[in-house]
Structure 1
Amino acid sequence: MGDSPNESRPQQLPIRALLMYVAYCAALIAAAVSIYGPGGIVPAAIIAFAWSSVFQSKNRPRMFLIVSGLGFLLCCVPLMLPKVQGAREAARRTQCRNNLKQIGVALYNYHDVFDSFPPAYTVDETGRPLHSWRVLILPYIDSSILYPRFDLSEPWDSEKNLPLLNEMPDLFACPSSTDGHVKEETSTHYVAVVGEGTAWPGVGGSRIGDFKDGTTNTVLVIECDSGIPWTEPRDLELDEALVTLSSLDAETALGHSHETFFFEEFYGRHVLLGDGSVDFLTHGIDRRFWRGILSIDDEFGLDWERSERREVTGQRKLRIDRCVKFAVFVLIALFPLPWVWLNPRSEYGRGGTMTDDISAG
C-alpha cells in the first residue's frame, strides 16, 4: 500500500510552536544580555539550541539527561574562575601600586627641577583655580606630548582644554576600577589632601624640608574613587578627607574595591608616602591616625608600626540587582523543563504519549 499523505510529508514545526520558540529565545537572550552584556548572546544561544535538541528527540527524557550531563560538565569550568579572578585582581592591585610609585617619581622629578613639589592647583591673576597638579607633572610621566597641548592660561574646562579631558593617562586610573566601580572614564583615582599643615597647602608647593615628621610618616597622594576629573583643580579638603578615610562604611570610604559577579569587595587603599614608597592601609583606621599621617608636622604621636600590623580584611556587599537578574535568567532557562514529561507530542502519530516516545527510543 502507498504511504499516507501524513507519512510521506516531512514533519514541520507548527506555526504556533515556532512563534512560542522564537518568543522564548528572545526572552532568554534579553535576560542573558542584562547580566553578561552582548556576550550573553552566546550562552543564551547554547541553551536555546539544547532545548531544541531535546524537543526534537524521539526520547526527550534520555536526550534531556545527555544535555544536562554536558551542561554540568560545562558548569564545572567556572568553578576555576575564582582563582583566575583572584590572580587577575592581584595583578591589578600591583598595577595600582605601581601607578602611585610612578606618580611619586614624577613628583620628585618636579621637585628636583623647581625645588618644591607642585602646588595643588594653579590660579590666574584673580585667584581662580585653573589646573590640577596632575597636569603639571605630565612632562615627568612620559606624557610630554600631551602637556604642550594645554593652555595653562585658560581654565581646565575651557573650550580649548576640555577636549583633553578624554586623554587621561592610564597612570591616573586604578585598573581595579575598570570592573565598574569607576564613576567616570575621565575621573582620577589618585588625589591629594589639601589643607593647612598637609603636603598640599594649596597654591604654593611644599618642600621636602617642610616635612618635620620625616617623609616616611607623611602621605603625599591617596587612592580614592572620588569621581574627580583628572584635570580639574580639585582634590579632597582635609576635613572631607578625614571623614571619608576614617569611615567604618567601606563603600563610603571610597577605597580599593573589586567586583565579582555577586559581590563587591572593599579592602582599603594605597597611599603614596613622602619618601616615594607606597603602602596599603585597611578600612577602619581611626581619624587620629589619618590626621597624623596627612600632617607634615604631626603633634599627635603617630604610631605607624601599629597601623602596619593591622590585618587586611575585606568587606563584601551583595549585589542585589545581579542576584535578581540571574534568578530571572535561570527561571527562563528552565521554563521548558515541565514539557519534557508533560504530554509531549509523539513523533509517531497524533495523540501519542511519552510512553510511545520511550518505547520508540
Structure 2
Amino acid sequence: MSWQRWISIGLVLGLLLLAFGLIMPAIFQAREAARRSTAKNNLKQIGLALHNYNDTHRCLPPGGTIREDDTAMQGWIAMMMPFLDASPYYSWLDFNDSWQSTSNRYVFDQRLPVVLVPGVEQHFTDSGFGLTQIMGNPNLLHRNSDVTFEEMTNGTSFTWLAGEVTGDFQPWCYPFNWRPLGTKLCQGPAGYGRPDWGGGHLLFADGHIKFFTDATSSRMLQRYDAAPPVATKAETAVPKKVFQTGEFHWDRIDLQSDPQGRDEYFATSLSSSTDVLLKLNVYSQILLTEEGQKQPKSYLKGPQFLLEIDSTTDIAAALKATPLAAAATPEQLAANVKTLQALQKQLHK
C-alpha cells in the first residue's frame, strides 16, 4: 500500500476521532439536561399534589403519622398519592396498619418514578422497599404535622417544601422522610443536591422550582432552613436508621391455578445487580372481570400477601395453608412447589 493511501486513512481516522470528541460531550450534556428537566418536572408534580391535598384538607399532609405508643404508621408521600396520578396504589393501602405491615407490602415494594432522581440507579432497599430521593422540609413535614400555608409568614415563595437529596436514601413509605437543608449543597450523603449537577432543585411552597448551585452561600441556606413555622426538636426527631440501598430489582413469577377461578397467584423475587436472590414473596389478587375493570380505582383490591419464603421454609406445607391449595389442582400445586423450591435454592443465606 502506498504512503499516500496510509496518509488518507490516517486523515479519515483523525477526522472521525475529532468528530467523536466533539459529539460525545454534546450528547452527555443533552442527556444531563433531559435528566434535570425530568427532575424539575417531578418536583412540580409533587408541588401540585401537595397543593391539591391542601385544597381538600386545608393543611399539608403530616410528615409522618406516629401513634401515641410511638408506632410509625405512614408518611407524607403515601398521604399525597391520590393527588399524584391515577394509580390504584393509594386505594390498596390499609392506613390502619404500619408501613412495615405485610398488608401494605406489595405497594411499598413498588418503584415511584416521581420521587426518584433520573440517573441515580438505586431504586430499592436490600429488603425490597421502593426508595425516595426526595425529602421534605422538617419544619413543614414532621411528626403528626398539619401545617397551613398561613403559617409560612416569610411568604410561600421564600419557604421551601422539598428537594433532591445526595444520598442516604430511604423508603418512600417511611414515615420520617424529612431532612434539614444544611449549610452546603452536595456535601456528603446526608445533604441535598446532586454532585454531578453541581447543585440541586428545591420546591417552594408557592409551587415554583429553583436550582441552587453548590456554591450557594451558607447564610442563604440557613435563612431558608429557618423560615417559619419552626418545628421543635421533638417534632422533627427521626430514628437513627440507615437503609442499605443498591441496584436491586423485583421480578414477577406467575403461579398455576384454575384459569376460571376468581384469583390469580404469583411470586415476587428481589435480586441484586449480580442476580443474587434476596427475597421471595407469594401473593394472590382478585382477577377483574370486564365489568370490574370499568369500576373506579377505589373499587380495586390490591395483591394480598400470603407468605414470605426463606431458605428454611417448607414450601409444600406453606402453600397448603394458603387459598392457593384450593384454587389449584394437585398437579398445578406440585408444579408451583417445584417452581418455588428452585427459586428457594437461589436465596442468599
TM-score by length of 2: 0.56
Three-state SS of the structure 2 residue aligned to 1:199 is: coil
Distance 1:114 1:247, change over 3 A: closer
Q: Deviations over 1:183-225 (max 9, x none)?
A: 747321211132xxx2224212200111111111111111113
Counterpart for residue 191 of structure 1 = 135
CA contact (8 A) 1:250 1:266 kept: no
Distance 1:156 1:98 in 2: 27
Distance 1:219 1:249 in 2: 19
Query: Deviation of residue 294 (structure 1)?
Result: 2.7
1:208 to 137, 149, 158: 149
5 Å-filtered alignment, 1:61-72, equals: none
CA RMSD of aligned residues (A): 3.1
CA contact (8 A) 2:73 2:97 kept: yes
Query: Deviation of residue 64 (structure 1)?
Result: 9.4
Three-state SS of the structure 2 residue aligned to 1:234 is: coil
Q: Deviations over 1:125-169 (max 9, x none)?
A: 523211110011110111441111112121212222223233232
Distance 1:163 1:269 in 2: 31
Distance 1:73 1:147, change over 3 A: same
Three-state SS of the structure 1 residue aligned to 2:166 is: strand
Structure 1 unaligned regions, length at least 5: 1-58, 258-264, 300-361
5 Å-filtered alignment, 1:116-131, equals: 116-131=59-74
5 Å-filtered alignment, 1:38-77, equals: 75-77=17-19
Distance 1:63 1:145, change over 3 A: farther
Higher helix share: 1
Q: Deviations over 1:248-303 (max 9, x none)?
A: 7477744124xxxxxxx34111011111111111114344422321334289xxxx
CA contact (8 A) 2:66 2:143 kept: no
Counterpart for residue 165 of structure 1 = 108
5 Å-filtered alignment, 1:263-278, equals: 265-278=196-209
Distance 1:68 1:165 in 2: 57
5 Å-filtered alignment, 1:198-277, equals: 198-226=139-167, 227-238=169-180, 241-242=181-182, 245-246=183-184, 249=187, 253-257=191-195, 265-277=196-208
Three-state SS of the structure 1 residue aligned to 2:94 is: coil
Distance 1:183 1:225, change over 3 A: farther
Query: Deviation of residue 231 (structure 1)?
Result: 1.0
5 Å-filtered alignment, 1:138-153, equals: 138-153=81-96
CA contact (8 A) 1:199 1:296 kept: no
CA contact (8 A) 1:256 1:268 kept: yes
Distance 1:105 1:188 in 2: 18
Counterpart for residue 212 of structure 2 = 281
Distance 1:159 1:72, change over 3 A: farther
The one-letter amino acid paired with 1:193 is N
Distance 2:73 2:7 in 1: 68
Distance 2:124 2:11 in 1: 43
Q: Deviations over 1:8-62 (max 9, x none)?
A: xxxxxxxxxxxxxxxxxxxxxxxxxxxxxxxxxxxxxxxxxxxxxxxxxxx8x99
Q: Number of aligned pairs? A: 224
Query: Deviation of residue 98 (structure 1)?
Result: 1.0
Distance 1:230 1:66, change over 3 A: farther
Counterpart for residue 221 of structure 2 = 290
Distance 1:104 1:167 in 2: 21
Distance 2:229 2:174 in 1: 29
Distance 1:200 1:69, change over 3 A: same
Distance 2:9 2:85 in 1: 54
Query: Deviation of residue 94 (structure 1)?
Result: 1.2
The one-letter amino acid paired with 1:191 is M
Higher strand share: 2
Distance 1:230 1:251, change over 3 A: closer
Counterpart for residue 48 of structure 2 = 105
Distance 1:217 1:230 in 2: 26
Q: Deviations over 1:82-115 (max 9, x none)?
A: 1012112112111111111110010000001001
Distance 1:77 1:161, change over 3 A: farther
Q: What fraction of aligned residue pairs are identical, expressed as a percent? A: 25
Counterpart for residue 293 of structure 2 = none
Distance 1:89 1:249, change over 3 A: same
TM-score by length of 1: 0.54
Query: Deviation of residue 235 (structure 1)?
Result: 2.1
Three-state SS of the structure 2 residue aligned to 1:225 is: coil
Distance 1:135 1:214 in 2: 26
5 Å-filtered alignment, 1:84-103, equals: 84-103=27-46
Distance 1:114 1:276 in 2: 18
Three-state SS of the structure 2 residue aligned to 1:272 is: strand
Counterpart for residue 23 of structure 2 = 80
Query: Deviation of residue 70 (structure 1)?
Result: 6.9
Question: Which has the higher relative contact order, 1 or 2, with Cα contacts under 8 A spaced 6 or more apart?
Answer: 1
CA contact (8 A) 2:135 2:179 kept: no
